A = this chain, B = another copy of it.
């Protein structure tokens, strides 16, 4: 999930307190209240209400962009142009073209580290799954199922948010799409895309051409299929999970969600609680992300994945969202070019 503001604070705290090789020298927020919060929480950090001013902070080497999605690309590009390394939250933009403009800006500064923050790439469980697959443990990976499911927020915050989020496939399933590109390979070419959805709890989402439950299928040339589910109405908590199914085995990440290792035996049965939000699930992945991004900047080592994949993920997410709204399946040829009718 991607509810902007608290997420920026978490990044700030992680870089300030849990990333020994990084110093959080400066931060930006447009919100004076948040600036006040930072005065206490981030005592060694200068907080700016103007992003451009922050970029001029002496000694600043790298920038983490974790503002609202609509600001990601512009701020990332400004930082790149100011010769800063950039870790930009996902998605780069809800527009493919604008996302591409970040990649283009980065391409002009090959000495900079520019990364899109796909946090699951830094999660120990997803990495263990990748390593198993990479060792050949499941044969040829063929089917990927992945879901991003948020706990129901009764405040309905996500309705207003939907105006700018790009829709559920771009906002939520972008993670799952990125996982498909990771496990199947970033060079995978989409053959067709289809999506459907419903508004089970928030009918007003249709105003923003969005849904609160979406199901999509992405078929790749070469005999691979990824299918996705996203939801805004989980009762028990955040449940993001993924299966990678190969010709010789299957890897399941978080099929059994859990928070702590506590199980409660009660008259109603045996119960466990699960994380209430994505941060409860991925906290340690965000810390690892901060460590590795910092190390790549300081040591000039390779980032774990390419920025261009982030554009591809947005492209697929937008196609799913389009299919959801048009009701039509969308086709592509072997080069990835859009077609009007299926090519079998």
Stretch of A76-84, A220-228, A311-319 on the interface side: A220-228
Beyond A125-B262, A215-B217: 7 further Cβ-contacts under 8 Å? A140-B200, A236-B265, A249-B265, A255-B263, A269-B272, A326-B342, A328-B329
Chain A: residues with Cβ within 8 Å of the partner, total of: 76
B327, A235: Cβ atoms under 8 Å? no
Is A4 among interface residues, defined by CB-CB distance under 8 A? no
Taking the closest CB of chain B, its distance from the CB of A323, in whole angstroms, is 9
Contact A245:B329 (CB < 8 A) given known A236-B269, A265-B251:
no
Taking the closest CB of chain B, its distance from the CB of A333, in whole angstroms, is 13
- Candidates B124, B213, B256, B262; contact of A143 at CB < 8 Å: B213
A249, B225: Cβ atoms under 8 Å? no
Stretch of A53-61, A67-75, A191-199, A298-306 on the interface side: A191-199
Return chain B residues, CB-CB under 8 Å to A225: 196-198, 213, 215
Q: Complex Cα distance A185/B276, Å?
A: 31
Taking the closest CB of chain B, its distance from the CB of A179, in whole angstroms, is 13
Contact A128:B262 (CB < 8 A) given known A257-B270, A269-B236:
yes
By a beta-carbon cutoff of 8 Å, the part of chain A in contact with chain B is 16-18, 20, 124-125, 128-129, 132, 137-138, 140, 142-143, 145, 192, 194, 196-201, 213, 215, 217, 219, 223-225, 227, 229, 231, 233-237, 239, 245, 247-274, 326-329, 331, 342-344
Q: Complex Cα distance A268/B259, Å?
A: 12
Q: 5 smallest A-B Cβ distances: which pairs? A: A327-B342, A250-B265, A17-B20, A125-B260, A125-B261
Contact A236:B125 (CB < 8 A) given known A142-B213, A263-B256:
no
Residue among A125, A256, A265, A342 with the highest chain B CB neighbour number at 10 A: A265
A194, B235: Cβ atoms under 8 Å? no
Contact A142:B198 (CB < 8 A) given known A254-B261, A260-B125, A327-B192:
yes
Minimal Cβ-Cβ distance residue in B for A20: B17
Return chain B residues, CB-CB under 8 Å to A262: 125, 128-129, 132, 251-253
Return chain B residues, CB-CB under 8 Å to A231: 143, 245
Give 7 A-B contacts (CB < 8 Å), ordered by A residue.
A124-B260, A194-B217, A194-B329, A236-B269, A253-B263, A259-B269, A329-B329
